[in-house]
């Protein structure tokens, strides 16, 4: 009787175990199309055995206690997970870099239906015509119109680059917010998982799925390291700094530049903002390389490509190769802004210097009076208008009109100097470009075509100063022809050769296209790697309806077998009782 009743318990364990396995399989089938769901597997094991005779000659006399569910496991491969998250982060980095370069390339190649290069070619053609006959009013108008078009289109590209920087800044802000949201989510899931699994009976499968999905998304945004502790809590670090642990979430902060409004991610817990000490999340002093794992995460790519300021020609002019690479050269956005502004700066100053040539004053110091009545001293080395060799416009006035003007200052300061004999001579002292005041620089932020020339194109210098019989200043044509042919400009400190203005643009757009091609190749290659790893991962975590249906038939047959077993035992016991 005892063995008979015990057999009922053995059959009952088979029924319960098969039923639980069927429930697990049914749950898998119900979630076959659920994104992020991880297949669950019911692992069966023997219960303990009772030993009746340990001294048996052949083997111990034992009686089994049936079967049970040893565990319901998550079908995951931690090595594939780590590889997937690393490659996802790296692919996101290069994808963001490619998007930035592609956007820049679009601005140059398609602007209001016309390529930017056309405006440079048109300006070149206008000066070719002007060189043939500077006195022709048609040629003068053409120079004025094409100069206005060139500046307008250059400003449009420059403004578009700044607008895209602002768009990247908005994206950076959203990414930081999302990172903090994911950190809070992982922290909350940690707490709930620990509560559920503390008894050692139940596994928080769905919560673990949600946490793994959050880690997948977080890995695409930033470079993370993570580790699951003994109690089921996952610790996460970003760029080597604690982000989520058992105690709290160290949220990423936003440091906002007062001048540009650009956001830089930083760690508040490691910073002292009252003293101006900010611990930035990213260290750009280390080379971007897969060997160092410094090319991971969309957020880092966005910060790097946006830069921390709006660049201009000063980021190239006078900079060493190392200085340039540490600043503007790191960002495709900054390098493009600086190269474009340098092209415009070099071109407009070269044109102005032909229309209004300067020489260095080499005499003794002279003190005179400006047109405003202020004292002014002319010292050696100062640039003054070369009045002996400059041309004038149709108004015949000195100083001649420059073609391109700065919004913050005139080209010259007029200084009247009276000698001991009472004779007065006028000097036109060149107002040098300011090192700090953008309005006094020949930069896209402060450039315009001279208003006087716009209103009267004949004011363009084109005549000699002979008051009796003004002649066409033919030397202007020769000077402009030589200007366009000279190879006197380098793209940036990394360039090994000098080029003409037309060659400069070709090199600039070619450099952008090359960078975009490299980023795109890396992105596509890594995308294939991510897909390959994900396919392998899906073979482990994914739900196969065919496989699950096979398991369901297996467990259903096991359930039926246990049921028949119990019926047989029940009939046996009933026969024994009734027979007695």
pLDDT bracket for residue 2 (50, 70, 90): very low
Q: Which residue has the tokens 């611990």?
A: 279
Strand, coil or helix: 239 = coil
Instruction: State yes or no: pLDDT of 27 exceeds 90.
Output: no
Q: Residue ranges of the alpha helices (H) in 198-264?
A: 205-221
pLDDT bracket for residue 8 (50, 70, 90): confident
Please report, for residues 119, 169, 255, 261, 284, the alpha-carbon distance to residue 258 in angstroms, rounded to integers and kept in the order given.
Answer: 35, 14, 9, 6, 22
* Predicted local confidence at residue 23, as pLDDT: 76
The four Cα atoms 75, 76, 77, 83 give a dihedral, to 10 degrees, of: 150
Supply the DSSP string of 164-197, one letter for each residue: HHHHHHHHHHHHHHHHHHHHHHHHHHHHHHHHHH
pLDDT-wise least confident of 159-173, 231-245, 353-367, 563-577:
563-577
Cβ-based neighbours of 423, under 8 Å, separated by 6 or more? none
**Beta strand pairing status for 412-418 and 424-430?**
antiparallel
Strand, coil or helix: 258 = coil
Q: Average pLDDT for residues 100-105, to the nearest whole number?
A: 88
Q: Average pLDDT for residues 40-59, to the nearest whole number?
A: 64
Instruction: State yes or no: pLDDT of 521 exceeds 50.
Output: yes
Task: Please give the structure tokens belonging to residue 544.
Answer: 């196969």
CA distance 493 to 519: 22
Strand, coil or helix: 457 = helix
Q: Average pLDDT for residues 35-45, to the nearest whole number?
A: 71
* Predicted local confidence at residue 34, as pLDDT: 74
Return the DSSP state at 360: E
**Long-range CB contacts for residues 558-564, cutoff 8 Å, separation at least 24:** 558/14, 558/17, 558/18, 558/21, 559/14, 559/15, 559/18, 559/19, 559/22, 561/14, 562/11, 562/12, 562/14, 562/15, 562/18, 563/11, 563/15
Higher pLDDT, 555 or 473: 473
pLDDT bracket for residue 58 (50, 70, 90): low
Q: Average pLDDT for residues 386-402, to the nearest whole number?
A: 91
The four Cα atoms 58, 59, 62, 66 give a dihedral, to 10 degrees, of: -120
Average of per-residue pLDDT values in the chain: 87
What's the pLDDT tens digit per position in 204-259? 888 888 999 999 999 999 999 999 998 889 999 999 999 999 999 999 999 999 99
Which strands, in side-by-side order, build the sheet including 412-418? 358-360, 383-385, 424-430, 412-418, 366-370, 375-378
Give the 3-state secondary structure of 503-542. HHHHHHHHHHHHHHHHHHHHHHHHHHHHHHHHHHHHHHHC
Instruction: State yes or no: pLDDT of 110 exceeds 60.
Output: no
Please report, for residues 133, 361, 491, the alpha-carbon distance to residue 486 in angstroms, rounded to integers and kept in the order given.
Answer: 21, 26, 14
Q: Average pLDDT for residues 197-203, to the nearest whole number?
A: 78
Instruction: State yes or no: pLDDT of 495 exceeds 60.
Output: yes
Q: Which residue has the tokens 């949220």?
A: 251
* Predicted local confidence at residue 1, as pLDDT: 43
Please check whether residue 409 is in contact with residue 442, taking contact to mean a CB–CB distance below 8 angstroms: no
Q: How far apart are the first and last CA of the chain?
A: 12
Q: Is 200 left (phi over 0), alpha (psi -120 to 50) or beta?
A: left
Element (H, E) at 561: helix 545-579
How large a percentage of the chain has pLDDT more than 90?
A: 57
Instruction: State yes or no: pLDDT of 385 exceeds 50.
Output: yes
pLDDT bracket for residue 55 (50, 70, 90): low
**Beta strand pairing status for 234-238 and 241-244?**
antiparallel
Instruction: State yes or no: pLDDT of 427 exceeds 60.
Output: yes
CA distance 61 to 55: 9
Instruction: State yes or no: pLDDT of 552 exceeds 80.
Output: no
CA distance 563 to 439: 92
Higher pLDDT, 333 or 573: 333
Which candidate, 521, 495, 515, places its Cα nearest to that of 105?
Answer: 515
Q: Average pLDDT for residues 293-321, to the nearest whole number?
A: 93
Task: Please give the structure tokens belonging to residue 504.
Answer: 């400069």
Task: Please give the structure tokens belonging to residue 568.
Answer: 């047989």
How large a percentage of the chain has pLDDT more than 70?
A: 90
Task: Please give the structure tokens belonging to residue 77.
Answer: 């491969």
Q: Which residue has the tokens 């565990």?
A: 71
* Predicted local confidence at residue 19, as pLDDT: 75
Supply the DSSP string of 63-117, one letter for each residue: EE--EEEEEEEE---HHHHHHHHHHHHHHHHHHHHHHHHHHHHHHHH-BTTB-HH
């Amino acid at each position: 009787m005892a063995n008979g009743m015990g057999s009922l318990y053995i059959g009952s364990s088979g029924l319960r175990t098969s039923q639980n396995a069927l429930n697990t399989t049914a749950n898998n089938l119900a979630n076959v199309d659920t994104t992020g769901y991880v297949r669950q597997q019911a692992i069966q094991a023997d219960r303990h055995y009772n030993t009746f005779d340990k001294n048996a000659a052949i083997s111990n006399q034992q009686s089994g206690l049936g079967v049970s569910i040893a565990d319901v496991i998550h079908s995951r491969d931690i090595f594939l997970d780590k590889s997937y998250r690393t490659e996802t982060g790296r692919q996101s980095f290069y994808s963001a870099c490619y998007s930035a370069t592609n956007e820049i390339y679009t601005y140059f190649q398609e602007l209001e239906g016309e390529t930017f290069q056309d405006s440079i070619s048109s300006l070149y053609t206008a000066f070719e015509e002007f060189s043939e006959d500077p006195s022709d009013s048609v040629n003068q108008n053409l120079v004025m119109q094409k100069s206005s078009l060139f500046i307008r289109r250059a400003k449009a590209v420059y403004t578009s680059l700044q607008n895209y920087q602002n768009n990247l800044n908005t994206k950076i802000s959203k990414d930081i917010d999302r990172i903090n949201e994911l950190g809070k989510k992982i922290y909350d899931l940690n707490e709930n998982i620990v509560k559920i699994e503390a008894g050692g009976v139940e596994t928080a499968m769905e919560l673990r799925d949600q946490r793994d999905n959050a880690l997948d998304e977080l890995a695409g945004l930033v470079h993370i390291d993570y580790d699951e502790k003994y109690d089921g809590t996952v610790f996460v670090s970003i760029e080597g700094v604690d982000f989520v642990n058992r105690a709290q979430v160290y949220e990423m902060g936003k440091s906002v530049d007062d001048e540009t409004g650009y956001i830089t991610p930083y760690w508040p817990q490691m910073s002292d903002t009252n003293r101006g000490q900010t611990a930035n999340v990213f260290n750009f002093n280390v080379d971007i390389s897969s060997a160092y794992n410094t090319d991971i995460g969309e957020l880092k790519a966005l910060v790097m490509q946006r830069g921390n300021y709006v660049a201009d020609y000063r980021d190239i002019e006078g900079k060493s190769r190392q200085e340039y690479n540490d600043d503007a050269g790191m960002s495709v956005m900054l390098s493009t802004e600086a190269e474009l502004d340098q092209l415009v700066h070099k071109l407009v100053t070269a044109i102005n210097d032909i229309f209004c040539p300067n020489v260095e004053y080499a005499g003794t110091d002279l003190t005179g009076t400006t047109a405003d009545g202020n004292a002014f001293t002319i010292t050696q080395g100062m640039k003054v208008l070369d009045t002996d060799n400059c041309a004038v416009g149709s108004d015949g006035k000195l100083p001649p009109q420059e073609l391109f003007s700065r919004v913050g200052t005139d080209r010259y300061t007029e200084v009247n100097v009276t000698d001991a004999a009472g004779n007065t001579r006028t000097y036109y002292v060149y107002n040098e470009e300011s090192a700090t005041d953008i309005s006094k620089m020949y930069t896209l932020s402060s450039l315009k075509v001279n208003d006087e020339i716009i209103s009267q194109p004949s004011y363009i210098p084109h005549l000699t100063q002979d008051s009796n019989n003004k002649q066409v200043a033919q030397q202007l044509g020769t000077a402009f022809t030589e200007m366009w042919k000279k190879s006197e400009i380098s793209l940036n400190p990394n360039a090994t050769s000098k080029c003409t203005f037309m060659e400069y643009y070709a090199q600039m757009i070619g450099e952008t296209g090359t960078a975009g091609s490299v980023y795109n190749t890396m992105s596509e290659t890594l995308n294939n790697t991510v897909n390959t790893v994900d396919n392998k991962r899906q073979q482990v975590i994914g739900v196969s309806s065919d496989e699950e249906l096979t398991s369901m038939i297996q467990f259903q047959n096991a359930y039926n077998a246990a049921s028949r077993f119990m019926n047989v035992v029940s009939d046996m016991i009933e026969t024994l009782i009734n027979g007695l």
